[in-house]
Amino acid sequence: MITCYVRYTLDMAQLDSFAEYGRIWIELINKLGGTHHGYFLPSEDPKAKSHGRFSFPGIGSEGSTNIGIAIFSFPDWEIYEKYRAEAGNYDECKRATKIVDETRCFTSYERNFMTPILGEGATK
């Protein structure tokens, strides 16, 4: 299994547009053989903003408040490459691209491929 982690720098005035973009990609990735684990936006809960305790004092710090993430997986590289080759042919992809082009709901992103650490008895 391969897992892709995408970190977005968000335009906080365009969160609704980013959420729409995310919902489109969740469906498309699932349709093309992947498993989307969701998009995650900065919490608006006041407790999250004022929660200053860290498990490891001295090495923890508050993260940026304009970061969103997406996490999705594919069973193997072959299915991932097939998704990459085919996604652009779907109207959903074109619609998602148009959202970003028109709203600039995110200003940059980073993509990393990750290997999961799973609990005992879980399968990769």
Is residue 99 assigned to a domain? yes
| CATH number, domain with residue 17 | 3.30.70.100
pLDDT of 99 above 70 = yes
> Whole-prediction pTM value?
0.85
Is residue 54 assigned to a domain? no
Is residue 51 assigned to a domain? no
As for how many domains the chain has, the answer is 1
Query: pLDDT per residue over 35-77, tens digit each?
Result: 999 999 988 777 666 666 777 878 877 778 899 999 999 999 9
DSSP string over the chain: -EEEEEEEEE-GGGHHHHHHHHHHHHHHHHHTT-EEEEEE-----HHHHT----SSTTT--PPPSSEEEEEEEESSHHHHHHHHHHGGGSHHHHHHHHHHHHH--EEEEEEEEE-----TT---
Is residue 120 assigned to a domain? no
Q: Write out the residue range of the structural domain in which residue 25 sits.
A: 2-44+66-114
Is residue 55 assigned to a domain? no
